[in-house]
């Protein structure tokens, strides 16, 4: 049985490799992006962002929309 996860071609496309490498963000930027996605990786945070994308709201309004306490929203 052949493992379909292994690339068995021998051709290296140097032009593509160099193009992608030249556009690859720095380790610092990748780290920042990783941290950002960790922050929004929580469902409640996504709900807050979604709600705020629809309209600017105060904590009281957010708490009401999400059926949460003001304290939980602020946290």
pTM over 0.75: no
Q: What is the rounded CA–CA span in Å between residue 25 and residue 46? A: 25
Mean pLDDT over 28-48 rounds to 92
Structure confidence by residue, pLDDT tens digits, 44-54: 999 999 999 99
Where in the chain are the domains? 26-74
Residue 61 class from Cβ within 10 Å (0-12 exposed, 13-18 middle, 19+ buried)?
middle
């Amino acid at each position: 049985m052949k493992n379909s996860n292994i690339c068995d071609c021998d051709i290296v496309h140097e032009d593509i490799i160099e193009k992608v490498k030249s556009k690859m963000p720095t380790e610092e930027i990748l780290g920042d992006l990783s941290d950002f996605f960790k922050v929004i990786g929580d469902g409640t945070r996504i709900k807050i962002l979604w709600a705020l994308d629809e309209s600017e709201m105060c904590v009281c309004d957010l708490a009401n929309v999400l059926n949460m306490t003001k304290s939980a929203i602020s946290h």
